Amino acid sequence: MSKGFRRIRGVHDGLPDMVRRWRRIEEAARDVFSRYAFAEVRLPVLEPTALFVRSIGEATDIVSKEMYHFVDQGGDDICLRPEGTAGAVRAWLQAGLSRAGATRWFYMGPMFRRERPQKGRLRQFQQIGVEWFGVAGPVEDAEMLAMAHAFLHRLGLDGLRLEINSLGCPACRPAYRERLVAWLSERADALCDTCRERIQSNPMRVLDCKVEACQAALADAPEMIAHLCGDCAAHFAGLKEALGALEVAYVVNPRIVRGLDYYSRTAFEIVTDRLGAQGTVLAGGRYDGLVAELGGPATPAVGFAAGLERLAMLLPEEPAECPDVGVVALGDAALPHALRAARALREGGCSVLWCGGGSARRQFKVADREGVRFVAVIGEDEAAAGRLAWKDMHSGEQRTLTVDEAIKACRAALRSTARGIASRP
Ligand code: ATP
Ligand code: MG
């Protein structure tokens, strides 16, 4: 295959070792989010390009250089979604749900951004996202954060830091923005090229530049949280109070700005020190203006998205589950009974590996390699008697059993080791 096709840069293959970890994360998300009464949605990967230009903002990295978009054969400008929130708002409006009151959704799936590929930064990656439409209060922001916290705790990821900030609102941000632009303009020489370009187009994003020289120059930059209006200040205080009540630890980081334009008030990131520069595993905030921006009724909302691949990098390897039973069929005459026995064992809840026929030696080797707990041998005698020779690979014990007895034996053994059937839903 050395001369064959290669993967596109920045995308990856989810092979079984990795998919087991992804599934563990997805199952934790489904379980925790449903306890918070959120419902799963599955939304399109393809959306109109204009949806993202309108929602995320033209001056953002995503829209200005990272979107995978194309004009299709019918002349429509279509985009592989770079994030989930805009599509969720579109779907919610299109389904007429804005009339039905608050809505709680979550989703998981691939997102696409043409970023510079590096560890923890892919061009096709997966997000688990959550959106809560129609709620305005700081208590709901805290509930969201408690839910994110519970999800990460379920995964055994406790050494993470929650950072929160407030980005203000249309009442207080413009004045702050002006002050910031003036402050940055005076120090433009000390900033990197990207930051200099952003002073006018997206000044708040300058605060979050990763270049060290910029960070040094920005040490005393004016911060949004010192310039909040009364309502935004009260909201931020309410958030901190509710987090305190829930005993969710946090630090205020006035430099969190988020890459997207549509955020207002609460913004947050959950960060690890274990992934270098790509340490944000979950991020989100309030986006009170977005629904109206996309043509809907004014609707406050809050949400977050977690990067599945980054979370997976923090988890230990997930061991493969071995099949419960290997079926060894000896001779053509035994074949029909062996096939039916394998199916019956599966219907009884066992996972069954067909060992592939051939010599007993070869089939036992397969069973051994796959780590099966039991081997069911079916030769002509067993087929004639409607039974199977049942070998416990742990104890070496052998018995002749009916298929029903074998199912019972399998269930009992796996229950006692708390894996296999007993832990399957
Ligand atoms: P970053 O600051 O790391 O670029 P972002 O602000 O662009 O993140 P969001 O758009 O808020 O991130 O996405 C939420 C989460 O999705 C991130 O915290 C991260 O875990 C994950 N994520 C974002 N972009 C990528 C990517 N290119 N590859 C892998 N994961 C990503
Ligand atoms: Mg980014």
For the CA atoms of 16, 308, 419, 345, the dihedral, rounded to the nearest 10 degrees, stands at -50
Go through the chain and tell me how many residues it has. 425
29-80 pLDDT per residue, tens = 999 999 999 999 999 999 999 999 999 988 888 998 999 999 999 999 999 9
Query: In terms of pLDDT, which residue wins out, 312 or 212?
Result: 312
By alpha-carbon position, which residue is closest to atom 11 of ligand 1? 283
The closest of 208, 268, 263, 273 to 243, measured between CA atoms, is 268
**What is the rounded average pLDDT of the residues 72-90?**
98
Averaged pLDDT score across all residues of the chain: 94
User: What is the Cα–Cα distance from 47 to 81, expressed in whole angstroms?
Assistant: 6
pLDDT digits (tens, 9 = 90+) for 336-387: 999 999 999 999 999 999 999 899 999 999 999 999 999 999 999 999 999 9
Looking at residue 422, its pLDDT comes to 38
Give the domains, in start order, of the chain with CATH numbers. Answer: 16-172+228-314 (3.30.930.10), 325-422 (3.40.50.800)
What mean pLDDT comes out for the span 398-402?
Answer: 97
Q: Checking DSSP bridges between strand 325-329 and strand 352-354, what pairing results, if any?
A: parallel
C-alpha to C-alpha distance for 82 and 1, rounded to whole angstroms: 32
Asked whether 262 and 290 are in contact (CB, 8 A), the reply is yes
* Amino acid, single-letter form, for residue 174: P
Q: Give the position of tokens 């406050």.
A: 300
- Is the confidence at residue 93, as pLDDT, over 80? yes
Q: Choose one of 310, 311, 314 to mutate for the ligand 1 pocket test, by most ligand atoms within 8 angstroms of C-beta.
A: 310
Predicted local confidence at residue 2, as pLDDT = 60
Q: Report the distance separating Cα 286 and Cα 393, nearest Å.
A: 56
Q: What is the mean pLDDT of residues 203-208?
A: 90
Q: Tell which wins on pLDDT, 85 or 262.
A: 85
Asked if residue 127 has pLDDT above 50, the reply is yes
Reported in sequence order, the residue ranges of 293-397 that DSSP labels E, i.e. its strands, are 301-307, 325-329, 352-354, 374-378, 388-392
Contact indicator for 322, 373 with CB cutoff of 8 Å: yes
What is the arithmetic mean of pLDDT over 144-169? 96
Give backbone dihedrals phi and psi of 234, rounded to 5 degrees, phi first: -65, -40
Q: What is the mean pLDDT of residues 237-241?
A: 98
- Ligand 1 first shell, C-beta below 6 A: 83, 113, 115, 120-122, 125, 127, 259, 278, 280-283, 305-307, 309-310
* Ligand lying closest to the C-alpha of residue 111: 1
Angle, helices 85-94 vs 49-56, to 10°: value is 110
pLDDT of residue 158: 84
